[in-house]
Each structure stands twice: as structure tokens, then as C-alpha cells.
Amino acid sequence: MAQAARLARALWPGRCALADRLGGRSWPPLLVQSRAGFAGAASGRQGRPRLLGAVALAVGGALGLYHTVRWHLRAQDLRAELPAAQFSLSSRLQLTLYQYKTCPFCSKVRAFLDFHALPYEVVEVNPVRRAEIKFSSYRKVPILVAQEGDSSQQLNDSSVIISALKTHLVSGQPLEKIVTYYPPMKALNDQGKEVTEFGNKYWLMLDEQEARHMYGGKEARTEEMKWRQWADDWLVHLVSPNVYRTPAEALASFDYIVREGKFGAVEGAMAKYVGAAAMYLISKRLKSRHHLQDDVREDLYEAANKWVAAVGQDRPFMGGQTPNLADLAVYGVLRVMEGLEAFNDMMRHTRIQAWYLRVEKAIAEAPTAHAPGWWG
């Protein structure tokens, strides 16, 4: 049972790596003259009002069609004009992600990579033996190995991975240099155990011009960092207590874990039954450790509504017209609950569904939707 519990904590929050602009194009209004406007201009001309009205409609329609086609073609030209240097940055990278599919920190990284249309290979790690990451002294996931020419860099911690890659895409600095901006630091956690943390992990290492292009102002940058950290420090800790809330939910969660993970037959059976029982009990301790309410669903609902309130009603995403790193982080954490009772309850009892579906659509359309400036 102890082994199964360790396995479960590896797949859900607590054992994963701690913490981890398609700039919205405003299409110009079509230049379509109204019938009333042309009729007014022609009102002094008596004798052929119907003919003039027909001519006005034809001219207005032609102008509208002209500008529609013009802007459509211009959009295609702009997409074709992706800065060659920036495009080569992403195309040169060969990325390999070592992960547990049901890990929320790993899900955050996949959301980022998918939204930025960065191709990558996935290596599913066996959560018991972890032989797939025996090359690494860092024994948590996600781990991202980035091959850039003859240089290979290992990036640890989901937030470091995201910040480093985003810095690389925006600034063009080599990853070999960027990783030095996020130094690992040893520290003791609340249980007195030594853990590895990383400095600056929510900070993009950009110069003033790059930062201004990406964020527009300091407030947007600060907001993004604040909510990325909130996703790591609070939201992620609501997942386990909610998916293991009852024995039935714990069993359903482990059925999902075994189905999506990399297990042998014996390991899978142990994980599904022994692990479900163990994590149901452990979830009670997690609830106490994080000072959650008796009904942990209420904490999940409050968190979802707090996020929606922060995004507000005047923008589709916290990033404005396109998701920013905070949007992708929150989405990535919540996505691992899809198909489980906790996720369905959250969708029914909070206001998060519309935002969630917008992010899902943005990620699905990302490879064909990016236009100049999307790196920023």
C-alpha cells in the first residue's frame, strides 16, 4: 500500500516538479457604404433615384468585397511573413518531454508546447521504476530535453521549462545561456525534506523592448506572473483531494491513471485497487495540510470562480485576445481532471466553462492561427 501511495502521489500533485501574442488581430471594419448614405448623396438628383440607388448599392458592395479580399490576402501575406529568424528558432529545436500523462505539471508543459506549435516527442515514464529518466539526477517530471544543433540542454521544473522556452522564442537567446538564468537551489520543505527549487522561474528574461512588445506594460507582466504562481501554489493542490474525495472517485481516478499511464499488468492492478484505497486515506491528510474545507469541492469551485473573476468580462483570456502563460498554466492543471466527477462538477457549478473551452479551441487552432507577433 505504501508503494501504491507513492505511485499515486507521483502521478498527481505533490511529487511532480514543484511549480512549473497570435497577437489578437483587430480586423478593420469593412468599408461598406450604407444604402441610406448613398441615397442621401443622390437626393438632389431627380428623375433617376432608383437607378442611382442601384448604382450606390453596387458600388458599396464592390467596395466591401474589395476590402474583404484585400484584408484576407493581407492576412495570408502576414502569416507568410513570420520572421525567419524566429521561425528557425522553433524549427531547430528537437524536444523530448519525459512525463506522466496525468501529472498536472506535465499537462501545463504540453499546453504551452501545443499552443506554440512546437513539435515534441513524449516519453511516458513508468512511475514505479522510472527507468526512462535514469540518465538524470533530477528524479521528478516533467523533464524536457532540448537538442539545438550540437547542444543538448535538460530543463527541469514545469515553470522553468515554460519560462525558458518562451524567453528563447521571444529573444532568440540560446537555451544554453537561458538555463543559467534559472539556478537550482536546495531548500527544506514543510516536512523538513530537502527539495530543489529554481530561482526566477516565473520571470521571462527579456530586454525592455522585448518585454514592452510582449506585455505592453508592467501590470500585464506582473499579473501573468502572479497567476502562474497561484496555479502552482494553490490550484494544483486542489486536484488530489477532489479526485480522491470518495472511495468511488478514487477508484475511478486510478482506473484513468492506469489506462493512460505506463504500467505492467501487476503494477496496474496494484495501482488501481491498492493505490485507490491508499490515496483515499492520504487525501484526507492533504485536505488538512492545505487547510481545505470539509467539502473540498467548495475550494475547487471558489478557485475556479476566482480565476474567472480575475480574467474579467472584457477580455476572452487573461492575455487579452490570446491566452498568456497564466491562461495556459491554469488550463493545464485543470485538464488532468477531464472525464472525472470532480471536473464535471466544476463545470456545472462554476463560471469557468466558457473560458476553458476558449483556451481549448485556441490550442487546437494554434498551428494554423499564429500570425506575426504571436511569439510575444
Q: Which residues are catalytic?
A: 100, 103, 105-106
* DSSP per residue, 203-264: -----HHHHHHHHSSHHHHHHHHHHHHHHHHTGGGGHHHHHTSSHHHHHHHHHHHHHHS---
> Which residues in 167-184 are b (16+ Cβ under 10 Å) and which e?
bbbbbebebeebbebbee
Quick one: 29 exposed, middle or buried, by C-beta within 10 A (0-12, 13-18, 19+)? exposed
Peptide linkage before 142 cis (omega within 30 of 0): yes
343, 337 contact by CB (below 8 A): yes
Beta bridge partners of 154: 145
Nearest CA to 276 out of 2, 3, 25, 5 is that of: 5
Grid cell, residue 227, equals 497567476
Q: Are strands 93-99 and 151-156 parallel, antiparallel or unpaired?
A: unpaired
Which one-letter amino acid corresponds to residue 248? A
